[in-house]
Structure 1
Amino acid sequence: MHCMSGHSNFVSCVCIIPPSDLYPRGLIATGGNDHNICIFTVDNPAPLYILKGHKNTVCSLSSGKFGTLLSGSWDATAKVWLNDRCMMTLQGHTAAIWAVKILPEQGLMLTGSADKTIKLWKAGRCGRTFTGHEDCVRGLAILSETEFLSCANDASVRRWQISGECLQVYYGHTNYIYSISVFPRCKDFVTTGEDRSLRIWKQGECAQTIRLPAQSVWCCCVLDNGDIVVGASDGIIRVFTESLERTASAEEIQAFENELSQASIDPKTGDLGDINADDLPGREHLKDPGTRDGQTRLIKDNGKIEAYQWSVSEGRWIKIGDVVGSSGATPQTSGKVLFEGKEYDYVFTVDVNESGPSYKLPYNITDDPWLTAYNFLQKNDLNPMFLDQVAKFIMDNTKGQTLSTSAQFSDPFTGAGRYVPGSSSGSSTVPAADPFTGAGRYVPGSASNAIAPVGGVDPYTGTGAYQSAAAKVENIYFPKKDAVTFDQANPMQILGKLKELNGSAAEEHKLTEDDLITLEKLLSATCNTSAETPTAQQLQTLWRAVNWPEDIVFPALDILRLSVRHPTVNENFCGEKDHVQLIILLLKFLNPKGKEANQLLALRALCNCFVSQAGQKLMMEQRDEIMTQAIEMKFGSNKNIHIALATLMLNYAVCLHKVNNIEGKAQCLSIISTVMEVVKDLEAIFRLLVALGTLISDDTNAVQLAKSLGVDSHIKKYASVSEPAKVKECCRFVLNLL
């Protein structure tokens, strides 16, 4: 009808805006590499108007009720448009937004990003982040008001509830999945990807695989009549149908099959598995019928390897191409091999017995062969007696590349020099130099809460650490019963800094000499160096101090962090009377653009609130607000902040384990999974692992939830950490539960 033009560079997405009173035939929106969105009427090849505002390529569009339009861009933002105006900008992703969808329920929107996450937005605010995909999210599809699908470069499709739970993960593609579309009036769907295929999914299973004579099948769309339209890298749009009336002529179908049979298949990008040309049968292998639609069979004919696919509807093998580049070596080790959405150094085909099926065994040279063998046997429900045999097979076929075992190590969290909660700061186990404030100066955040080792061997991670799969190590890590608190301090240095900053404070904030003495007494009472009970006057003075300006408040925050551990102070600040004020104050400091010292001390204060019943009750009541704000702290590089954030999640896990709140556990599991993607410090990782183990202990629902979030894939790399050994051991105990 028209060749529409208006962009100055390539067009990357197209969307229909439904009919309205003003435009009864609807509108067409296109996003381009020129950073613009063009809006066209059906009747005119020139744009009706152009939407400007994005700072990079507009790569995804979705329309909603009342003419609203949602756009996603490489600039990591999404924008909501109404007619020719930008109504709001959605900020929060850290990489390009590849997919956007407006949900049927008014005001809810979804964005999928190259940062591997999906975000749910309401009224311009991020209400939830969905984590689980291990690579860029490429497509979204709406199933209902409460469920949606996502596909990603990790070769998986995930089904989600908007409440946050991942309900199912679908594997079938062997490379990037670019596009996903849902059949009308049901939950079946289609996907296309970089493995030359269109796949049709029915009742949770891949029901049909259609190969195309093009490597990249970029996009798909299901029409109202159930026909499927796909666009591929060969520049051709193809339509597939179940309707006999709309089926192409025999000549067209034959031409398509001829084109398909002449395609070249690279084993590294296809899903053909390990190929040993010497072992392949001849053409007689095609006399036996296939067992399922889309089944692939390889044969060798006149020295050439050909790939065929079984068609159930036609009852015959259809040639899908010639296999090129297969060296005859097995296993295939040139470059990485993709299996179930992850890249591996090796993917072995293992025959446990001659009459049984073959199993795929993925392995990276950084993995522990014993743990890999154990997980492989568990996953495939195979007899544990094969453990030694499988581990030896791995080592024999990877040239013996294994990890070194742990050396003797004194762990700062659990070792001989560890801090025992409840001991005074003058305890003999504490080093002379204060571990929080360092030698002679007070700089919050300059060192972690963990105390440097004072000698001796860590009883959990020393010479008795895990040496082989047969070793028995007792799980002393979880479920954890009590909150972890931040107790270390040098009261004299804190008071010295408070007095110094008070001297330069504005008159309206300045504390009197009596006020400073009052705070000194409070600090003495709450650090167990005095038997006195904190007074109301002391707490009032502290509250005035913690409301100081942001650039000088940190010593007052530190006093609050220490004081809230005292039962009297905890009851006063966290009890029914003024409890919300404390949370509002602390959350104010969890601003990603704020001062790191304040962020750190606010997180530590929140952790210390868990020490008494009033604080636990408050922290659970305000869980949504606290977790939403705290998770923003993951993006920084300060390892002490990451440790404090991990400790906060651990303390929530302790509470949630006691009350067995599955909704709360889901929220906590999701955040832990998200934080683990960015945190590198092994002490923070260890505390997150303890939190995970605590959440899923004695709770099959929580175990299933953790599996659906893909938690196991996030943590497997820590099962081979050599030091500190507690990380490796705790990780393995969590993996055993999963």
Structure 2
Amino acid sequence: YKGHEDCVRGLAILSEMEFLSCSNDATVRRWQISGECLQVYYGHTNYIYSISVFPQCKDFVTSGEDRSLRIWKQGECAQTIRLPAQSVWCCCVLDNGDIVVGASDGIIRVFTESLERAASGEEIQAFENELSQTSIDPKTGDLGDINVDDLPGREHLKDPGTRDGQTRLIKENGKVEAYQWSVSEGRWIKIGDVVGSSGATQQTSGKVLFEGKEYDYVFTIDVNESGPSYKLPYNITDDPWLTAYNFLQKNDLNPMFLDQVAKFIMDNTKGQTLLSTSTQYSDPFTGAGRYVPGSSSGSSTIPAADPFTGAGRYVPGSASNAVASVAGVDPYTGMGAYQSAAAKVENIYFPKQDAVTFDQANPTQILGKLKELNGSATEEHKLTEDDLIILEKLLSATCNNSTETPTAQQLETLWRAINWPEDIVFPALDILRLSVRHPTVNENFCSEKDQVQFIVLLLKFLNPKGKQANQLLALRALCNCFVTQAGQKLMMEQRGEIMTQAIEMKSGTNKSIHIALATLTLNYAVCLHKVNNIEGKAQCLSVISTVMEVVQDLEAVFRLLVALGTLISDDTSAVQLAKSLGVDSQIKKYASVSEPAKVKECCRFVLNLL
């Protein structure tokens, strides 16, 4: 069984056919007895010593060298319990569901969900007091790189946390204190004082262990406040741009964060120099030279990362690793375009000519989740092993630049999968989202024969009370439909119904959903600019005005600004419509945004038209 990068410390049986392993590489792996690794679980930041499974289910607990006991449910780290000891040597789940742990302080502790068996208030307070007096060494990588001067005070604890186990650091009387959010108690609990946290450099910090390897730095990256934190390991000899790109790829994160992550690395590793960069203007959409409406993507000499899609338009046969050659090119601000205040800034943002798609994916994880959920599906919906192989081939044909054409059998199997119950359908929707970029798949689902069923199915998931994962993937699938003429025709024909349903997604707080909604609006703007449909533009402007009121994520705002600029370009009637909706007063505040610069620049160009 090959997979772990360091010694294996523990095993736990899930069923007659599956088991779990934990390792010094800080990962847990789920295996089939045949030797196939089905899933990798990330969460710990140091050696994992012990693992134990809950009775009658696949949930489990782990403990390790990062002072934590972690509880895993449905494949995710659902809860992190800190202990007042560096090494949590062993953990065991009892038949009643209680968890026993033994740590390096020589004490055995039992954790329970049962109020009847819970410790007294005095004992719980004593545990919290002991925990709060613990000294935390930042060199473990568990808290990321720390700079005391940049930390907020106690007021930072007035706002509630966004997830159980979330950690916040504050500065109190010259000391750094670490607090962890408890969802069950609705409060921040002190988990220790951070020692030696004055902003260590390579010379003073030593090496940091992460996933079984040593690094100069291990940063904690919060991409989304409502989502998990990610660990980013970095050595000072590494290229910050390539490291940022690989980090986003590994964690299946949106490539739009490339600039921010690379900048974060450089800001926190002091003294790193960028590779030489071109002084040409760079397109903020494709990162490939100045934007020229109607120009071919092949004319670019710099195959850089598109901050929308990661790789420009979907082009079968294009090299997947081309982006690695652009270390140093800023795909957001155009690098050379804004090097000096005296340089004349050109409008490289709109009118946008091509649809923006969602191409980022981790096929292995998608298929792993599909197989896992298929195991819990009813007999009516369960896919056979042959069906799973068929979907794997479809994903390969549409994601890996394969020359194979998706078959009717593959499309029929995909259709059955996306008709799964709502609580398990999301990996099938993700396969649809990726597959519909392929001309064969797009034309099949968007053809006159199947188009009504297809749209009805996707709109079913745009239910404000539905699962957010389904809402997000349905919106992304709709965005990706715009890649072919057949898809554009269908989307324009069904525009009224789609936009009416999609705008209901504005009421949530999920930033990824807001970005997808803004992208859908942008893609409609691209089509409407070409056909100059004033009725369609009026609806689209109304959507932009409505969504602008609620979104806070600046990437979503940027895409709405590009959509707005595209709609009103070369159209005085559309300009008047936008003014009548009060859009100009809505967007003025974004003209002074400092980062990312593209928001401010794009906003000013739109205001000039208004």
Contact conserved, 1:196 with 1:217, CA < 8 A, in 2?
Answer: yes
CA drift at 1:528 = 3.7
- When structure 1 is superposed on structure 2, of 635-644 and 433-442 the one drifting more is 433-442
What is the rounded CA distance, in whole Å, between the counterparts of 1:541 and 1:316 in structure 2?
47
What is the rounded CA distance, in whole Å, between the counterparts of 2:373 and 2:153 in structure 1?
85
Paired residue for 1:439? 311
Tell me: CA distance 1:239–1:454, structure 2 relative to 1, closer, same or farther (3 Å): closer
Tell me: CA distance 1:731–1:337, structure 2 relative to 1, closer, same or farther (3 Å): farther
Q: Which has the larger radius of gyration?
A: 1
Tell me: CA distance 1:361–1:657, structure 2 relative to 1, closer, same or farther (3 Å): farther
Tell me: CA distance 1:218–1:434, structure 2 relative to 1, closer, same or farther (3 Å): closer
Paired residue for 2:148? 277
CA drift at 1:488 = 1.1
- When structure 1 is superposed on structure 2, of 619-628 and 325-334 the one drifting more is 325-334
Deviation string, structure 1 residues 559-596 (Cα, Å, up to 9, x no partner): 10011111111111001001011111111111111111
Deviation string, structure 1 residues 401-432 (Cα, Å, up to 9, x no partner): 99999999999966589999999999999999
Deviation string, structure 1 residues 444-474 (Cα, Å, up to 9, x no partner): 9999999999841426625656699975211
What is the rounded CA distance, in whole Å, between the counterparts of 1:317 and 1:496 in structure 2?
35
The CA RMSD over aligned residues, in Å, is 19.1
- When structure 1 is superposed on structure 2, of 232-241 and 668-677 the one drifting more is 232-241
Contact conserved, 2:256 with 2:307, CA < 8 A, in 1?
Answer: no
Contact conserved, 2:226 with 2:510, CA < 8 A, in 1?
Answer: no
- When structure 1 is superposed on structure 2, of 279-288 and 586-595 the one drifting more is 279-288
CA drift at 1:530 = 1.9
Contact conserved, 1:590 with 1:629, CA < 8 A, in 2?
Answer: yes
Tell me: CA distance 1:579–1:197, structure 2 relative to 1, closer, same or farther (3 Å): closer
3-state SS, counterpart of residue 362 of structure 1: strand
Contact conserved, 1:424 with 1:527, CA < 8 A, in 2?
Answer: no
- When structure 1 is superposed on structure 2, of 174-183 and 446-455 the one drifting more is 174-183
3-state SS, counterpart of residue 117 of structure 2: coil
3-state SS, counterpart of residue 160 of structure 1: strand
Contact conserved, 1:169 with 1:708, CA < 8 A, in 2?
Answer: no
Contact conserved, 2:442 with 2:486, CA < 8 A, in 1?
Answer: yes
Contact conserved, 1:166 with 1:708, CA < 8 A, in 2?
Answer: no
Contact conserved, 1:435 with 1:447, CA < 8 A, in 2?
Answer: no
Q: TM-score, normalised by structure 1?
A: 0.41
**Residue number among 387, 392, 395 corresponding to 1:515 in the alignment:** 387
CA drift at 1:288 = 60
**Residue number among 471, 483, 490 corresponding to 1:618 in the alignment:** 490
Tell me: CA distance 1:568–1:319, structure 2 relative to 1, closer, same or farther (3 Å): closer
CA drift at 1:685 = 0.6
- When structure 1 is superposed on structure 2, of 336-345 and 406-415 the one drifting more is 336-345
What is the rounded CA distance, in whole Å, between the counterparts of 2:573 and 2:176 in structure 1?
47
Deviation string, structure 1 residues 254-308 (Cα, Å, up to 9, x no partner): 9999999999999999999999999999999999999999999999999999999
Specify every segment of 5 or more residues in structure 1 that has no aligned partner in the other structure, as ranges: 1-129
Tell me: CA distance 1:450–1:728, structure 2 relative to 1, closer, same or farther (3 Å): farther
CA drift at 1:724 = 0.7
Q: TM-score, normalised by structure 2?
A: 0.49
What is the rounded CA distance, in whole Å, between the counterparts of 1:735 and 1:622 in structure 2?
31
CA drift at 1:489 = 0.7
What is the rounded CA distance, in whole Å, between the counterparts of 1:491 and 1:170 in structure 2?
16
Contact conserved, 1:416 with 1:455, CA < 8 A, in 2?
Answer: no
CA drift at 1:719 = 0.8
Contact conserved, 2:286 with 2:312, CA < 8 A, in 1?
Answer: no
What is the rounded CA distance, in whole Å, between the counterparts of 1:321 and 1:252 in structure 2?
18
Tell me: CA distance 1:218–1:274, structure 2 relative to 1, closer, same or farther (3 Å): same
Deviation string, structure 1 residues 599-658 (Cα, Å, up to 9, x no partner): 000000000000011111111111111101100111111111111000000000000001
Tell me: CA distance 1:551–1:269, structure 2 relative to 1, closer, same or farther (3 Å): closer
Tell me: CA distance 1:181–1:600, structure 2 relative to 1, closer, same or farther (3 Å): closer
Contact conserved, 2:46 with 2:65, CA < 8 A, in 1?
Answer: yes
What is the rounded CA distance, in whole Å, between the counterparts of 1:153 and 1:533 in structure 2?
43
- When structure 1 is superposed on structure 2, of 338-347 and 540-549 the one drifting more is 338-347
Deviation string, structure 1 residues 17-52 (Cα, Å, up to 9, x no partner): xxxxxxxxxxxxxxxxxxxxxxxxxxxxxxxxxxxx
Contact conserved, 1:146 with 1:162, CA < 8 A, in 2?
Answer: yes
Contact conserved, 1:410 with 1:455, CA < 8 A, in 2?
Answer: no
Contact conserved, 1:264 with 1:321, CA < 8 A, in 2?
Answer: yes
1:728 counterpart = 2:600: yes
CA drift at 1:525 = 1.1
Tell me: CA distance 1:377–1:720, structure 2 relative to 1, closer, same or farther (3 Å): farther
- When structure 1 is superposed on structure 2, of 676-685 and 246-255 the one drifting more is 246-255
3-state SS, counterpart of residue 617 of structure 1: helix
What is the rounded CA distance, in whole Å, between the counterparts of 1:492 and 1:153 in structure 2?
23
Contact conserved, 2:281 with 2:290, CA < 8 A, in 1?
Answer: no
What is the rounded CA distance, in whole Å, between the counterparts of 2:260 and 2:128 in structure 1?
45
What is the rounded CA distance, in whole Å, between the counterparts of 2:554 and 2:445 in structure 1?
33
Tell me: CA distance 1:624–1:164, structure 2 relative to 1, closer, same or farther (3 Å): farther
Contact conserved, 1:656 with 1:664, CA < 8 A, in 2?
Answer: yes
Deviation string, structure 1 residues 315-338 (Cα, Å, up to 9, x no partner): 999999999999999999999999
Deviation string, structure 1 residues 122-154 (Cα, Å, up to 9, x no partner): xxxxxxxx9999999999999999999999999
1:710 counterpart = 2:585: no
What is the rounded CA distance, in whole Å, between the counterparts of 1:357 and 1:542 in structure 2?
30
CA drift at 1:155 = 60
What is the rounded CA distance, in whole Å, between the counterparts of 2:101 and 2:69 in structure 1?
8
Contact conserved, 1:442 with 1:493, CA < 8 A, in 2?
Answer: no
CA drift at 1:713 = 0.6
3-state SS, counterpart of residue 231 of structure 1: strand
Contact conserved, 2:592 with 2:600, CA < 8 A, in 1?
Answer: yes
Tell me: CA distance 1:660–1:621, structure 2 relative to 1, closer, same or farther (3 Å): same
Tell me: CA distance 1:437–1:195, structure 2 relative to 1, closer, same or farther (3 Å): closer
3-state SS, counterpart of residue 529 of structure 1: coil
Tell me: CA distance 1:589–1:260, structure 2 relative to 1, closer, same or farther (3 Å): closer
What is the rounded CA distance, in whole Å, between the counterparts of 2:207 and 2:485 in structure 1?
52
User: What number of residue pairs does the alignment pair up?
Assistant: 609
What is the rounded CA distance, in whole Å, between the counterparts of 2:419 and 2:164 in structure 1?
68
Tell me: CA distance 1:132–1:611, structure 2 relative to 1, closer, same or farther (3 Å): farther
What is the rounded CA distance, in whole Å, between the counterparts of 1:382 and 1:512 in structure 2?
30
Tell me: CA distance 1:677–1:156, structure 2 relative to 1, closer, same or farther (3 Å): farther
Contact conserved, 2:332 with 2:596, CA < 8 A, in 1?
Answer: no
Contact conserved, 1:173 with 1:193, CA < 8 A, in 2?
Answer: yes
What is the rounded CA distance, in whole Å, between the counterparts of 1:613 and 1:693 in structure 2?
23
Contact conserved, 1:415 with 1:453, CA < 8 A, in 2?
Answer: no
3-state SS, counterpart of residue 245 of structure 1: coil
1:539 counterpart = 2:405: no
CA drift at 1:521 = 1.1
Specify every segment of 5 or more residues in structure 2 that has no aligned partner in the other structure, as ranges: none
3-state SS, counterpart of residue 464 of structure 1: helix
Contact conserved, 1:416 with 1:456, CA < 8 A, in 2?
Answer: no
What is the rounded CA distance, in whole Å, between the counterparts of 1:679 and 1:706 in structure 2?
18
Decide which structure has greater helix share: 2
Decide which structure has greater strand share: 1
What is the rounded CA distance, in whole Å, between the counterparts of 2:138 and 2:246 in structure 1?
26
Tell me: CA distance 1:572–1:446, structure 2 relative to 1, closer, same or farther (3 Å): closer
- When structure 1 is superposed on structure 2, of 495-504 and 137-146 the one drifting more is 137-146
What is the rounded CA distance, in whole Å, between the counterparts of 2:56 and 2:367 in structure 1?
68
CA drift at 1:524 = 1.1
Paired residue for 1:627? 499
- When structure 1 is superposed on structure 2, of 623-632 and 411-420 the one drifting more is 411-420
- When structure 1 is superposed on structure 2, of 199-208 and 492-501 the one drifting more is 199-208
Tell me: CA distance 1:536–1:478, structure 2 relative to 1, closer, same or farther (3 Å): same
CA drift at 1:529 = 3.6
What is the rounded CA distance, in whole Å, between the counterparts of 1:304 and 1:526 in structure 2?
53
